[in-house]
Amino acid sequence: MIFKEIKYDIEAVMQRDPAARNFLEVLLLYQGVHALIFHRFAHRLYRKKHFFTARLISQISRFITHIEIHPGAKIGRGILIDHGAGVVIGETAVVGDGCTIYQGVTLGGVGVKRGKRHPTLGKNVTVGAGAKILGSFEVGDNCKIAANAVLLKPLANDITVAGVPAKPVKIAGVAVEKKGVQCDLFSMEDNIEDLQKRVALLESMEKKIKRNSKVLFNKQRQRQPKSVRKQS
């Protein structure tokens, strides 16, 4: 059973990583595969309540691969952990078949209470580099979590999310329309530059009007009789 799961993991790399050249290269040189191999054995021991030995294996795996998967986590078949450094998967996390997880991902818990406290990923979920999924909730099949997103709420199937906190940007491949005022920084810069030119033109016209008014006032005063000028 374990060796069949390892075979599925290697095949997943071959299918989804264009840099993978052959079966032997993936088996010997891919740290994501090594972490999953360690986890398969550690998880079996964990289920048989050999907690110390299971945790020891997971810590050895962490030291070698820089990927931390708690032996209690349930990992499906055909998983690709690409690059992998910094990945953390908590004790009660569940990862469905066919998921892809990139470097720096955390499937973490919220709070210190025992019991289910980590996320459950459906099938074929992609979690981008540096993304954090925190809490006990479900992420539906075929969802995509963008790089560096922080997901704190459950998702239905076929949703792509991005941002902090993560919000849907696509549903079933269709972009979600943004509500509220949308700002285009480039057009804003153009508008600001145009406004600055208009202000400069108005200031120039104001100075010209003041200068002309002064000249006109002086001419009118000169035309007046001296007696009137003295009175003014």
- Average pLDDT per block of 10 residues along the chain, 232 residues long: 89 93 94 96 96 97 96 96 95 96 95 89 97 96 96 95 93 78 55 84 87 76 62 54
- Residue 91 contacts residue 118 (beta carbons within 8 Å): yes
pLDDT of residue 136: 95
What pLDDT, on a 0 to 100 scale, did the predictor assign at position 99? Answer: 97
C-alpha span between 68 and 71 (Å, rounded): 9
> Tens of pLDDT along 194-223?
888 888 888 888 888 888 877 777 777 677
DSSP string, 154-193: -B-SSEEEETTTTEEEEETTEEPPPPS----HHHHHHHHH
Render pLDDT for 145-154 as a digit per residue (tens, 0 to 9). 999 999 999 9
Residue 225: predicted pLDDT: 65
pLDDT computed for residue 124 by the predictor: 97
Pairing of strands 174-175, 167-171: antiparallel
SS3 percent helix, strand, coil of the chain, rounded to 5, is 45, 20, 40
Residue 7 makes CB contacts below 8 A (sequence gap 6+) with none
Instruction: Classify 2 in phi/psi space as left (phi over 0), alpha (psi -120 to 50) or beta.
Output: alpha
User: Looking at residue 102, what is its pLDDT?
Assistant: 97
Residue that has been written with the tokens 């990927």 in this structure: 67
